[in-house]
Amino acid sequence: MSKNFTLGIEEEYMVLDPTTRELRSHEQSIVEQAHKVIKDQVKAEMHQAVVEVGTRICYNIDEALQDITLLRQTIAQIAGDLGYGIGASGTHPFSKWEMQLITDHPRYFEIVNEMQDAARSNLIFGLHVHVGMESRQMALHIANSVRYFLPHVFALSTNSPFWEGRNTGFKSFRTKVFDKFPRTGIPDFFESIEEYDNYIKLLIKTNCIDNAKKIWWDLRVHPFFDTIEFRVCDVPLTVRETITITALFQAICAKIYKLRMHNLNFIIYNRALVNENKWRASRYGLDGQLIDFGKEMEVNTRALIYELLDFIDDVVDELGSRHIINNVRDILETGTGADAQLAVFQETQHLPAVVDFIQAKFLEGY
Q: Mean pLDDT in runs of 10 for the chain (366 residues)?
A: 82 97 92 92 88 97 97 97 97 91 81 85 93 94 96 98 97 95 93 94 94 92 89 98 98 96 90 96 98 94 97 97 97 98 98 98 83
pLDDT for the residue numbered 299: 97
Predicted TM-score of the model (pTM):
0.96
Sign of the C-alpha dihedral, residues 114, 118, 119, 120?
positive
Query: Cα separation of 283 and 265, whole Å?
Result: 30
H-helix or E-strand spanning residue 98: none
pLDDT for the residue numbered 67: 97
User: 2-361 domain in CATH 3.30.590.20?
Assistant: yes
pLDDT for the residue numbered 110: 84
pLDDT for the residue numbered 2: 45
pLDDT for the residue numbered 91: 97
Q: At what angle do helices 337-348 and 351-361 cross, to 10 degrees?
A: 140
216-217 vs 289-292, strand pairing mode: unpaired
Query: Cα separation of 250 and 23, whole Å?
Result: 33
Instruction: Decide: 266 and 254 in contact? Cβ < 8 Å.
Output: no
